[in-house]
C-alpha cells in the first residue's frame, strides 16, 4: 500500500526544470532510499513534498490526500516530518526546547516561550529514544554535529509523523555515531514510521534502504529493489557520467 505518491510532478525555476514529470510511490512502512547525482532534483522533491515549494504541474498525495497546494504547517499536521542535510538547531535554546518547537505549527504556538508539561514529557520520550535524554536541559549549541543530527531525528518524531523525509543522515557524522543513528532509524521504522531517505553514502543506502528510487536530470531513472538497482546499467552510467 502506498503512503506517498508523486504523479508527473514538475517544478521549474526560470528556464531550468529542476523536477521533470517525476513519478514514484513510497510504500507505507518502508525505508525507501532516494539517490542520484548532484543536481538530480532530490532536494527539490523534498521541498515539494514538505510544502516549501509548490509544483508547477502534477500531483503529490499522502494516503490519497493532495498536498500540492497545502502550506508546510498543514502538511506537517497530516503527518509529514523533515530533517535537513545541515542540521538546523537553535543554539541558544535547550535540547528539549528544540524538540518541542519542532512540533508547534501555529504562529502563536511557535512564539509561546513556555514548555507545557505534556510537551516536555513527549519530548523527553523522543530524546530518550535517540539517546539524548541526558542532554535535555543543556544548550543545543553544545552538542556535537552528530548529536545535532540525532536531535533533528528526535524533533521529527515529536509530531507523531507517518512519514519522515530524512536528508543525508550520514553527512558529517563519524562512523561510530552513524551506526547508532542507523539503529535508531531502524527502531523507529519498526514502530510503523515510513522513511524516504536522501543519502550519498552508498554503503549506507544499500544496507539500510529497500526499495531505492534513482533520480537523474529531475526525473526517475530507476525504482526497485536494491539488488536490481545495484546492477542497473542506467544507474551506473548516471553516476559515472556525473563523476
Q: What sign for the dihedral angle of Cα 25, 200, 85, 144?
A: positive
Phi first, then psi: what are they for 25, rounded to 5°?
Answer: -130, 155
- The more confident residue out of 92 and 41 is 41
Q: Which residues pair with 82 in a beta bridge?
A: 165
Domain boundaries, the chain: 2-242
- What is 2-242's CATH number? 3.40.50.300
pLDDT recorded at residue 176: 86
Can you tell me whether residue 67 is helix, strand or coil? coil
Which cell goes with 171? 553527512
Q: What is the pLDDT of residues 94-130, one digit of tens each?
A: 999 999 887 765 433 444 457 788 889 999 999 999 9
Burial state string for 111-149 with b = 16 or more CB within 10 A and e = fewer than 16? eeeebeeebbebbbebbebbbbbebbeebbeebeebbbb
Rg (CA), the chain: 18
Cis omega (within 30 of 0) for bond into 211:
yes
The pTM of this model reads 0.91
Q: To the nearest whole number, what is the mean pLDDT of the chain?
A: 90
Does residue 40 contact residue 215 with C-beta atoms inside 8 Å? yes
Amino acid at each position: 500500500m502506498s503512503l506517498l505518491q508523486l504523479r508527473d510532478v514538475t517544478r521549474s525555476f526560470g528556464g531550468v526544470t529542476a523536477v521533470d514529470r517525476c513519478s514514484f510511490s513510497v510504500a507505507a512502512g518502508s525505508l525507501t532510499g532516494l539517490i542520484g547525482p548532484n543536481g538530480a532534483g532530490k532536494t527539490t522533491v523534498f521541498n515539494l513534498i514538505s510544502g516549501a515549494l509548490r509544483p508547477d504541474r502534477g500531483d503529490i498525495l499522502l494516503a490519497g490526500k493532495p498536498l500540492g497546494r497545502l502550506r508546510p504547517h498543514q502538511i506537517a499536521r497530516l503527518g509529514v516530518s523533515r530533517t535537513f542535510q545541515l542540521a538546523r538547531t537553535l543554539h541558544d535554546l535547550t535540547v528539549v526546547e528544540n524538540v518541542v518547537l519542532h512540533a508547534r505549527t501555529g504562529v502563536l504556538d511557535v512564539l509561546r516561550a513556555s514548555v507545557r508539561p505534556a510537551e516536555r514529557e513527549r519530548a523527553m520520550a523522543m530524546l530518550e529514544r535517540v539517546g539524548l535524554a541526558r542532554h535535555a536541559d543543556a544548550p543545543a549549541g553544545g552538542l556535537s554535529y552528530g548529536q545535532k543530527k540525532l536531535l533533528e531525528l528526535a524533533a521529527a518524531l515529536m509530531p507523531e509523523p507517518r512519514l519522515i523525509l530524512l536528508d543525508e543522515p550520514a553527512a558529517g557524522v563519524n562512523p561510530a555515531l552513524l551506526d547508532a543513528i542507523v539503529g535508531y532509524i531502524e527502531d523507529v521504522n519498526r514502530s510503523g514510521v515510513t522513511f524516504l531517505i536522501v543519502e550519498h553514502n552508498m554503503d549506507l543506502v544499500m544496507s539500510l534502504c529497500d526499495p531505492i528510487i534513482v533520480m537523474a536530470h529531475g526525473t526517475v531513472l530507476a525504482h526497485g529493489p536494491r539488488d536490481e538497482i545495484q546492477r542497473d546499467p542506467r544507474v551506473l552510467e548516471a553516476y559515472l557520467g556525473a563523476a
